[in-house]
Every structure is written in structure tokens, then in C-alpha cells.
């Protein structure tokens, strides 16, 4: 060994961990909020202009694409998007946005099939890049990073640092939403999880404007949308990584790039041993100490459906495609059945049989006793609809434009209706002679329960897909069907004719409805703080009461349910509440976590089952 080699080795040993090699210089681009649409050619033109300019730009190593790449999350548009992106002369890496996760006829499975996954990981010149989904998945709520993705990030960064985060190898994280309160409900889980590592930057979009933010101290960049601006020019981001910094530029078509932010690669921006600057407030639980969680199970997977219950068992589907049975008494896991892809729709159980749909394009019938498969029905596309069972017949809609009635004992399809233009996620209403449900095509359908023949369709003059009465679970009373929709209206529809009886925007409700046990009242959440109650008896809208529950801004599609005169509801930020059905008096509130609570299932006036997007299943109980 000569003297020069000796001193090189000595110098390497003396350098701090994570600083043993100077950062290589490189550049990459960011495209975000493309919003390609089947009804508007401009976003596609904007993207193609950006792709052409990117291809003509020297020294770009790759492109990050950070969500809202389509307007409606449909497969056809994503396939078109891929043909455009494949024109790039450099590699690209893509993550989902809320338009791909909230409105997705495939239950967010088409994205992975087309682009090879719903998250990405790669190392480039000494920096680890991780991109992941920030939701919300299929339910209107704040963004959410599911437990399995948080674990994946930590495992990836551990491997990058050879099991020792103190090595401090630099990481850049890409997502659609900013990791902050009001955007992602569990931002603190994410920042606490990544804090021990050397995260240099979060990169995202969503707000269609340039923003330089901090997520519990960690730098965060939001880039402008690729859509043409007021001057008619598309644009994107350019990042220049040097030996000691990251420089951020905006690049408009036909103009030189403009630098607007820069970050050090050596300076410490946050305490890697610290915690989030703020956590959710659970003080409401001290106000109502009689409300307790009898049991809670953390499943470790996202949950987007409500629980189903029969006798002494609770059944829950999850993001990993598992349908799991728990004991009602204490939450002990009894068995789990693995389907091929995620479960979005709420299952149903009757006569010892559990029925549910899966994004793997099948409807399953399982034994409630041991989870063994009794039958399955194949669909042409993912099955995202919730199940209603009545008199041994299961009713369920899918994304193949088909609604089915299935014998739960044999799996025989009794009838099908194929006249649906949009996909179905709702739980159908089954009455004495009708099956009624909405779809993401601005339409509410009423079918003959016996043979599936169409009786009527209601559109209410809705013109935008996003206004469809598709997430609400309809209810019926006194000759009327009641729904709410994203246009912020409550509507009463004649159950025999499909004609509008009344429609009101008075209370600014969205996609929730609930019926009292005596069928005289319907309930709904407003978009700010309150529950409202309307009469089902009149042919004009009559508000009976409005109660300020104090839950803040709210738009989650979790329905209201009444048992023993108590109305129960829940919110996108983990709150469950109970009101006196006839008066609206607030009886209690209890905060489970900070993510969406799906429609709760009351067992009686003082016990209810719940599920949360963050993976919890539990039984809540109030002392009498």
C-alpha cells in the first residue's frame, strides 16, 4: 500500500458517517396535477408540450410525477396518459393523487396494473427516492397514508442505511398531498416515522401553485400544475442537485427556468430525535368519561368499509384483500380469508354466510364459522359495492356496469341488470318490491326486486360525474326515497315514479343520510359542525332540528344510524358521536383516532362497532 492509498483510507474513516462521498451533481424534473380528461383535450395538449420540451432539455436524468394525473381516475384515461409519458426520453416515476384514489372504477388497482405499482423506490447518485400514495382511497376525506406504506418507507430507509439511520444517507420523498394538518389526517405519523432518517425534501403538488413549506420542520415543496396558466402556458418543476444543495426552478413552456427555492444538503432543518410539533386533540374524551372502547384491534392495514355483524362475530375487509372474523365479545381474531385484491365495499352476513366483493373481480360467499369459501361469482371488473342481504338474496353492484342478485347459499346469480354507465360503490336499499342504488353516472336506479327489470331512473338534472348520488346509502319512508349528493343537496324522490318530490340546498349536506327507527325523520351531516333532521312525512322540506356537534369542516360519506332512539354518526377525523333522535341533543362524543370512521354499526343504544381508515376495528360502549 502506498502513502496516497493510506491517507485516502484514513480520510474516509475520519469523515462523519453519511458524508463519506461528495454528492454527485444531477438534475431531474417534476410533473404534477396533469388532470387528463376524456372530455377535455387541453390537459393532454399541455402534457405533450411539456414532454416535448423535457425531451429537448439537456442533462435531465429522470422525471417525478406526483399525482392527480387524471380527472376521473378511469382506466382508459390512465392508459392514454401512459402513452404520453412513454414519449419521454428519460425514466419517469409516478405516484397517485386524490383524483386517482377517490374516483376510481377499479378501486385503485388499474393504476398499479398500468404503471407497475402504486409506489416507487429507486436510488440515484447517492440519494434514495421514495414515492407513495397519500389517499384518500374511495372515500371523501382528508388524505391518509396507510400503515403498510409507513412501514414500507421505514424498511426502505433502513435498508438504504444498512440498518443504521444515523448513517444519514439522504432521502427525498414524493407524494401528492402536503404532509400537514388539514391535508393528511395522520401527517404526524408520517413525519414521526421518517424523522430519524436524513430526509432532505418532500416533493408534491395538489394546490396547483408553488409553495415552500415545512412539515414538522422537514422541507416540503409543492409545484405548480402542468395545466396551462392564465397566460396559456403549461409548466413544471426542475430540481438541480449539487454537491451541497438542491435548487428548485419553475419551467414554463418556451421560457428560461426561474429559481424560487433552495435547500442545503448538509444543514440540519429538524431535530432527528424530536417529535411532531402538534398532535390531534383527544380532550373531548375527558368530557364524556362514560364512553369507553371495550376493545380495539389494530390490524396494520387500511380499512375502507364498515363492519358487518352476525350473532357473536364481526366481519371486516381491508386494503390487503383480507376478510377477517373477530369475536364480538372481545375482538379476538377467529379466521381470515385472503382475496386477490383490496376490499372496499362493506360485507354483509346472514344465515351463517358472509358475502363481499373484491377488487380482484369476484364476489365471494364464505362460511361465517370458519371462513371457508362456499362459492364465488366472477365479474368483468373490480367489485367495489357494499352488500345488502334480504331473504337469502345478496344484492351488490360492480364496476362492470352490472348489478347482481345472488343466492347466498348456492352462489347462483338470480338476475343481472346491465344498464349502468358508471361504477357502483354504494350499499343498495332493498324495499318490499324494489332495489335502489346510485352510481357514478349522475343516476339513481330503481329495479324490480324479483327480476331486476328497470322501474325508473333519477338524475335530478345533475351534469357532472362528481355530483353523482353514488356514495350515499339511500333510505326510504312514507312513499319517498331520500338521498344527499355532492352538489350539497338533500332530495326526496317518489318511490313509485322516480319523480322529485322536493330538493333543498338549505343545509349544505353532502353524501350522508340516515333514517329514524319510526321512519318519521331523516338525518344528515352538514359540511360544518352540524347534524340536521328533516321530516319524512311532508311533500315539502321541513327541518325539525339542527344540532351543533362541533366537528368542524366535514365531507366524509359515513351514514347516520339510529338504535333505541339514539342517532349515531362519525367523521373524517376519528370522532364518533351520539344524539337524541327526536331533539338533536348531543349525548356524547368520543375520538378514536384522527382518520375516517366509516359508517358505525350500533348494536343497541349503548354499544356500537366501528372501523377506521388507519386500521382499527373496535367496540365502543357507554355506561348506562
* CATH T-level topology, domain 27-264: Purple Acid Phosphatase; chain A, domain 2 (3.60.21)
Residues 284-340+432-622: name the CATH superfamily.
Answer: YVTN repeat-like/Quinoprotein amine dehydrogenase (2.130.10.10)
Classify residue 504 as exposed, middle or buried by CB count within 10 Å of its CB (0-12, 13-18, 19+). Answer: middle
- The more confidently predicted of residues 91 and 21 is 91
In angstroms, rounded to a whole number, what is the distance separating the alpha carbons of residues 48 and 37? 14
Q: Percentage of the chain surpassing pLDDT 90?
A: 94
Given this model, what pLDDT does residue 419 score? 87
Would you list the domain boundaries of the chain? 27-264, 284-340+432-622
Please give the C-alpha separations between residue 524 and each of 139, 167, 256, 472, 607, in angstroms, as whole numbers: 17, 53, 52, 10, 21
pLDDT in tens, 571-620: 999 999 999 999 999 999 999 999 999 999 999 999 999 999 999 999 99
- Relative to beta strand 313-317, strand 308-310 is antiparallel
Classify residue 547 as exposed, middle or buried by CB count within 10 Å of its CB (0-12, 13-18, 19+). Answer: buried
What average pLDDT does the segment 39-61 reach? 97
In a 3-state reduction of DSSP, which class is residue 573? coil
Given this model, what pLDDT does residue 170 score? 97
In the chain, the N- to C-terminal Cα span, in Å, equals 82
pLDDT in tens, 529-547: 999 999 999 999 999 999 9
| 370: number of Cβ within 10 Å | 10
Beta strands in 421-505 (DSSP E): 429-430, 434-439, 443-448, 454-458, 475-477, 480-485, 489-494, 500-504
pLDDT in tens, 388-415: 999 999 999 999 999 999 999 999 999 9
In angstroms, rounded to a whole number, what is the distance separating the alpha carbons of residues 359 and 261? 42
In angstroms, rounded to a whole number, what is the distance separating the alpha carbons of residues 402 and 355? 17
Beta strands in 554-604 (DSSP E): 561-563, 566-570, 575-580, 586-591, 601-602
Start-end of H helices in 218-347: 284-287
Given this model, what pLDDT does residue 463 score? 87
* Exposure string for 82-103, b = 16+ CB within 10 A, e = fewer: eebbeebeeebbbbbbbbbbbb
Given this model, what pLDDT does residue 624 score? 75
Among 54, 114, 105, 109, smallest CA distance to 83 is for 114
What average pLDDT does the segment 456-480 reach? 95
Given this model, what pLDDT does residue 14 score? 39
Give 373-378 contacts, CB < 8 A, sequence gap 24+: 373/337, 374/409, 374/411, 375/410, 375/411, 376/411, 377/404, 377/406, 377/411, 377/413
Among 34, 216, 28, smallest CA distance to 122 is for 28
What average pLDDT does the segment 161-170 reach? 92
In a 3-state reduction of DSSP, which class is residue 231? coil
In angstroms, rounded to a whole number, what is the distance separating the alpha carbons of residues 98 and 14? 47
**Is residue 3 scored above 90 in pLDDT?**
no
Given this model, what pLDDT does residue 333 score? 98
Contact criterion met (CB below 8 Å) for 214 and 202: no
**Is residue 441 scored above 90 in pLDDT?**
yes
In a 3-state reduction of DSSP, which class is residue 284? helix
Given this model, what pLDDT does residue 78 score? 96
**Is residue 17 scored above 80 in pLDDT?**
no
Angle at which helices 187-194 and 147-160 cross, to 10° = 10
In angstroms, rounded to a whole number, what is the distance separating the alpha carbons of residues 262 and 63? 19
In a 3-state reduction of DSSP, which class is residue 258? strand
Given this model, what pLDDT does residue 22 score? 64
Contact criterion met (CB below 8 Å) for 423 and 411: no
Q: What mean pLDDT value characterizes the chain?
A: 95
**Is residue 186 scored above 90 in pLDDT?**
yes
Given this model, what pLDDT does residue 166 score? 86
DSSP 402: -
pLDDT in tens, 338-367: 999 999 999 999 999 999 999 999 999 999
The torsion defined by the Cα of 173, 177, 180 and 184, in degrees rounded to 10, comes to -110
Contact criterion met (CB below 8 Å) for 444 and 481: yes
CA 585 to chain CA centroid, Å, is 31
Residues with Cβ within 8 Å of residue 155, at least 6 apart in sequence? none
In angstroms, rounded to a whole number, what is the distance separating the alpha carbons of residues 578 and 549? 9
What average pLDDT does the segment 242-246 reach? 96
187: left (phi over 0), alpha (psi -120 to 50) or beta: alpha
For the residues of 7-45, what is the DSSP string, one character each? HHHHHHHHSPTT-SSPPPPEEEEEE----BBTTBSHHHH
Please give the C-alpha separations between residue 268 and each of 248, 271, 444, in angstroms, as whole numbers: 18, 8, 55
**Is residue 4 scored above 90 in pLDDT?**
no
Cα R_g (the chain), whole angstroms: 26
Amino acid at each position: 500500500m502506498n502513502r496516497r492509498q493510506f491517507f485516502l483510507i484514513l480520510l474516509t474513516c475520519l469523515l462523519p458517517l453519511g458524508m463519506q462521498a461528495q454528492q454527485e451533481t444531477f438534475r431531474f424534473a417534476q410533473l404534477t396535477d396533469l388532470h387528463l380528461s376524456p372530455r377535455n383535450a387541453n390537459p393532454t395538449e399541455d402534457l405533450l408540450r411539456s414532454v416535448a420540451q423535457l425531451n429537448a432539455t439537456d442533462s435531465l436524468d429522470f422525471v417525478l410525477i406526483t399525482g392527480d394525473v387524471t380527472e376521473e381516475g378511469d382506466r382508459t384515461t390512465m392508459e392514454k396518459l401512459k402513452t404520453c409519458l412513454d414519449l419521454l426520453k428519460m425514466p419517469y416515476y409516478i405516484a397517485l393523487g386524490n383524483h386517482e384514489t377517490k374516483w376510481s372504477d377499479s378501486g385503485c388497482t388499474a393504476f398499479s396494473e398500468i404503471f407497475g405499482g402504486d409506489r416507487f423506490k429507486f436510488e440515484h447518485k447517492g440519494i434514495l427516492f421514495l414515492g407513495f400514495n397519500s389517499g384518500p382511497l374511495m372515500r371523501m376525506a382528508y388524505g391518509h397514508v396507510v400503515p403498510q406504506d409507513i412501514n414500507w418507507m421505514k424498511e426502505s430507509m433502513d435498508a438504504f442505511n444498512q440498518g443504521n439511520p444515523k448513517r444519514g444517507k439522504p432521502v427525498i420523498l414524493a407524494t401528492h398531498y402536503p404532509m400537514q394538518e388539514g391535508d393528511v389526517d395522520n401527517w404526524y405519523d408520517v413525519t414521526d416515522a421518517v424523522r430519524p432518517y436524513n430526509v432532505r425534501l418532500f416533493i408534491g403538488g395538489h394546490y396547483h401553485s408553488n409553495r415552500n413549506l415545512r412539515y414538522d420542520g422537514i422541507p416540503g415543496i409543492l409545484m405548480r400544475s402542468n395545466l396551462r396558466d392564465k397566460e396559456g402556458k403549461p409548466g413544471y418543476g426542475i430540481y438541480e442537485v449539487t454537491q451541497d444543495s438542491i435548487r428548485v426552478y419553475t419551467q414554463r413552456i418556451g421560457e428560461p427556468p426561474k429559481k424560487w427555492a433552495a435547500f442545503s444538503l448538509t444543514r440540519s432543518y429538524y431535530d432527528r430525535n424530536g417529535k411532531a410539533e402538534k398532535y390531534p386533540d383527544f380532550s373531548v374524551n375527558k368530557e364524556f368519561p362514560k364512553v369507553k372502547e371495550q376493545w380495539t384491534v389494530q390490524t396494520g392495514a387500511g380499512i375502507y368499509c364498515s363492519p358487518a355483524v352476525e350473532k357473536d362475530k364481526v366481519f371486516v375487509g381491508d386494503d390487503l384483500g383480507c376478510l377477517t372474523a373477530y369475536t364480538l365479545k372481545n375482538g379476538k381474531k377467529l379466521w381470515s380469508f385472503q382475496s386477490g385484491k383490496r376490499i372496499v365495499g362493506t360485507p354483509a352476513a346472514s344465515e351463517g354466510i358472509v358475502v363481499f366483493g373484491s377488487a380482484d373481480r369476484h364476489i365471494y360467499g364464505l362460511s361465517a364459522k370458519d371462513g371457508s369459501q362456499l362459492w364465488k361469482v366472477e365479474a368483468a371488473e373490480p367489485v367495489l359495492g357494499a352488500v345488502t342481504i334480504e331473504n337469502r338474496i345478496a344484492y351488490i353492484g360492480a364496476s362492470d356496469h352490472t348489478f347482481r342478485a345472488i343466492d347466498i347459499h348456492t352462489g347462483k346469480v338470480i338476475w343481472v341488470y346491465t344498464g349502468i354507465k358508471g361504477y357502483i360503490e354504494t350499499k343498495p336499499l332493498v324495499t318490499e318490491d324494489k332495489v335502489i342504488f346510485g352510481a357514478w353516472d349522475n343516476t339513481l336506479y330503481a329495479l324490480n326486486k324479483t327480476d331486476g327489470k328497470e322501474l325508473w331512473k333519477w338524475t335530478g338534472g345533475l351534469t357532472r360525474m362528481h355530483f353523482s348520488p353514488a356514495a350515499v346509502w339511500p333510505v326510504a319512508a312514507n312513499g319517498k326515497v331520500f338521498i344527499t349528493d355532492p352538489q350539497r343537496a338533500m332530495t326526496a324522490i317518489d318511490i313509485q315514479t322516480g319523480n322529485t318530490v322536493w330538493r333543498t340546498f338549505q343545509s349544505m349536506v353532502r353524501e350522508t343520510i340516515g333514517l329514524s327507527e319510526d321512519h318519521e325523520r331523516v338525518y344528515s351531516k352538514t359540511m360544518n359542525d352540524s347534524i340536521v333532521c328533516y321530516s319524512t312525512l311532508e311533500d315539502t322540506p321541513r327541518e325539525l332540528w339542527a344540532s351543533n356537534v362541533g366537528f368542524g369542516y366535514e365531507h366524509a360519506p359515513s351514514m347516520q344510524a339510529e338504535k333505541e332512539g339514539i342517532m349515531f354518526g362519525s367523521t373524517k377525523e376519528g370522532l364518533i358521536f351520539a344524539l337524541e333522535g327526536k331533539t338533536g341533543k348531543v349525548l356524547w362524543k368520543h375520538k378514536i383516532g384522527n382518520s375516517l370512521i366509516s359508517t358505525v354499526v350500533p348494536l343497541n343504544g349503548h354499544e356500537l362497532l366501528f372501523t377506521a381508515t388507519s386500521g382499527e376495528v373496535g367496540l365502543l360502549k357507554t355506561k348506562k
